[in-house]
Amino acid sequence: MSNVMKFLEELGRNPQMLSEDQYAQAVAALDLDAETASALASRDAGRVAELLKAPAVTFCGLFPAEEEQPVKEDEPDQDDRDDREKEASALAA
């Protein structure tokens, strides 16, 4: 994992507000090339993403599971019909 990613991950884990000076010191302490350090110091998320070769568009789709069709209360289910048929057959015999 790159130093930039580690830095961003740490910022995400500890979201306390850093002053501009603290942020600049933290960026300066990283072992980065000048262009990446400049983009990070200026908080240019688009440029940082470009330098990291991150995808420009990220898509996440969620699809709910299919729900079972509700059983109507006035219609007996198949098990109830089978039980009634067995009872009727037993009484007829």
Higher pLDDT, 2 or 56: 2
Backbone angles phi, psi at 21, to 5 degrees: -65, -45
pLDDT surpasses 70 at 30: yes
Q: Distance between CA 42 and CA 6 in Å, rounded?
A: 18
38 pLDDT band (50/70/90 cuts)?
A: very high
Higher pLDDT, 77 or 65: 65
pLDDT surpasses 90 at 44: yes
